[in-house]
Amino acid sequence: MAYGKLEVVCGPMFSGKSTEMLKHAVWHIHGTGSRIMLLKPAFDVRYSETKVVNHDGIGFDAIPVTRMPEVPADVTAVFIDEVQFCCAPHYEGDLVEDVRGLLARGVQVAVAGLDMDWQGRPFPVTAALLAMADKVFKLRSRCAVCGVDATKTFKKQRNDRRVELGQADLYEPRCNAHWHDHSQRPGVELALEI
């Protein structure tokens, strides 16, 4: 049996991560005619409880999860959105080990998620999956201040919560310069360790 391949789609908010992953899912279905599973963290209810939905409102049915479900033998690919949320307290178990198990069975896996939080710290689950990836799609958005490529997520309403569900009301993409200017204001500390 062949070992599966892992693809990771990452970047800041509003960079098209879910859209890119959904395109890969559609390509897989149409290209192979195979059965897939589309998963999303049950914690993420911003647009839908039972769909992966991009910021433009385009969505596909998905299984909301708090742990890895049984993956039937006829499923050839698993797609997981918002992987940064697949950790305690929102996910039971170890998603990285779950993905390793799927790959060992020959299942193709594609995930999408934020690579860094609003403080510039890597999300551990995403970082581990990036290290394991056979292929990485690092997406960019447009800086909400100046319009150049954005690789960071800026949090508009300041508090110390690392994970807080939100949309454009709470977050916006920023280029390094405009994100860095914000991060250096008094009272804001950056912790770059994992």
82 assigned to active site: yes
User: How many beta carbons lie within 10 A of that of residue 160, not counting itself?
Assistant: 7
Query: Of 125, 100, 114, whose CA–CA distance to 164 is shortest?
Result: 114
| 49 annotated binding-site participant | no
Per annotation, catalytic residue among 82, 97, 189, 193: 82
| 31 annotated binding-site participant | no
Q: How big, in percent rounded to 5, are the helix, strand and coil portions of the chain? A: 25, 25, 50
| 33 annotated binding-site participant | no
| 7 annotated binding-site participant | no
| 166 annotated binding-site participant | yes
Residues 6 or more apart whose CB falls under 8 angstroms from that of 160 comprise none
Annotated binding-site residues read 163-166, 171
Annotated binding-site residues for substrate read 163-166, 171
Residues with a catalytic annotation lie at 82
